[in-house]
Structures are given as structure tokens and as C-alpha cells.
Structure 1
Amino acid sequence: MTTTIEAPAQTHGLQVRTDPTGKPLAIRHDGQIWLVDPDTESRHWFGRDAWWNTRRTAAVGSGDLVSIEFWRVQVRPGTTSALRTITLRREPLATHWLLDSFSDSDETTEEA
């Protein structure tokens, strides 16, 4: 079963703990803590926001307004639980993460 949010809205119950480089280590979602499995490879990439569709404007020097950060990680709530896949996204200049997808299966082999 895969749950995908087509246009993610801010998920108030989502908190992401990261290491100093920004890699997710643990995710709190709906009252459950999901630990990122250190034995699996996390995928990290950037997409581009279609700024011309949003008609956002910004002052010169505002920073990167088009790079959307993504992480796809394998998580589990306990050491003996099955792995699940979470894809996180962070909008340009945002400080909070959004839940892009949450699945019951290992999807790290998919191309982003």
C-alpha cells in the first residue's frame, strides 16, 4: 500500500531529526517515531519549483527560490519491524519538512 500526497500541505505532526549534514535520522509522524535504518542507502536529490506558475517574486539576494530538496529513506518503528519507505520534501527557503509519500514497501531502487 502506498500513500502519496499529490500536493503536500504542511504536516503539523511531522518532525525530522537530522545529522549535521542534513541527512534524516528519525521522523516523528502521527505520534510514531520512525528510525532511519543505517544499513540502507538513503537517496537525496533536488527538484525544481515551477516558479513561473506560482508567480512568486522575491528581492534580489533572497536566496534559492527554486530548489526543492527530497530525501527517500528506509524507516522502521523498532529494530524488528519491517522496513517502510518515506519520501520527504522541503520547499525552497522552508524550515519545515513535508511528507511526500509513505509506503509499506522498499522503494529505494526506483528512479527519482
Structure 2
Amino acid sequence: MTISPEAPARTHDLQVRTDPAGTPLAIRHDGQIWLVDPATDTQHWYGRDAWWDTRRTAAVGSGDLVSVEYWRVQAQIPGTNSPLRTFTLRRQPLATQWLLESIDDGS
């Protein structure tokens, strides 16, 4: 199953625990806790918000209002033989809440 922008996930039940550097360590989604596998390659990048579509205004010195943070990590439910799933997480500029961009279980 893949959750995509065409079939968005509910994001109100998503929580991400990170290390002090901001790297995701665990994800709580849909009543389950998923641990990020440290042995797999994580990907981290920034995209740009379409500020011209949102028409957001801000005072001078408000900070970076256009950089959208993304992480792609592989995680599994601890203590089970569940397969690794690939989570793509997104955080809007200046937000503290993470959003679920997609989950891919490889099928």
C-alpha cells in the first residue's frame, strides 16, 4: 500500500521522535510505534513551499518561510517480524508538527 497526495493519510495521529540533531528515531502512526532502522540509509532533503500559492505574509525577520523539510526512513514495529516500511515525512516551514507524505510497504 502506498499513501500518496492523491490518497492522503490522516496526519493528526502522527508523531515523530527525533534525536538532538533532528534525525527521526521513531514514528507513532495509526496506533502503532515504528522504530527507524539505523542500519538502513535515511534520506534528508529540503524542498520549496509554493509561497505564491499560499499568499502567506510575514514580518521581516520571521525566519525561513519556504523550506519544506523531508525525511525518508525505513521503520518496523519492534518485537515483530513485520517487514520494513518506507515512510516519507514532511514538515512545513516553521512548523513543529510532522505530516505523513507517504508509506510504502514494497508491494
TM-score with structure 2 setting the length: 0.91
Q: Secondary structure at the match of 1:100?
A: strand
Question: Contact 2:71–2:90 (CA<8 Å) still a contact in 1?
Answer: yes
2:46 corresponds in structure 1 to 46
Q: Could you tell me the percent identity over the aligned residues?
A: 72
Deviation at 1:22, TM superposition (A): 0.2
The amino acid across from 2:25 in the alignment is L
SS in structure 1 of the partner of residue 41 of structure 2: coil
Residue aligned with 1:53, SS: helix
Q: CA deviation at 1:9?
A: 7.7
The CA distance in 1 between the partners of 2:21 and 2:8, in whole Å, is 24
Contact 2:45 2:69 in 1 (8 A): yes
| Equivalent in the alignment of 2:82 | 81
CA RMSD of aligned residues (A): 1.9
Shift of 1:103: 1.0
- Farther-moved stretch of structure 1 (40-49 vs 78-87): 78-87
1:81 shift after superposition: 2.0
Cα deviation, residue 92, structure 1 = 0.3
Would you say the 8 A contact 1:10–1:97 is kept in 2? no
Q: Within 1, Cα distance between the matches of 2:82 and 2:96? A: 30
**1:65 corresponding residue in structure 2:** 65
User: Aligned partners of 2:17, 2:8: CA distance in 1, in Å?
Assistant: 19
Q: Which moved more, 1:97-106 or 1:31-40?
A: 97-106
Summarize the Cα distance change of 1:53–1:9 in structure 2 as closer, same or farther, 3 Å threshold.
farther
Structure 2: gaps spanning 5 or more residues: none
Secondary structure of the corresponding residue to residue 3 of structure 2:
strand
Q: Which residue of 2 aligns with 1:95?
A: 96
Provide the TM-score with structure 1 as the length reference: 0.87
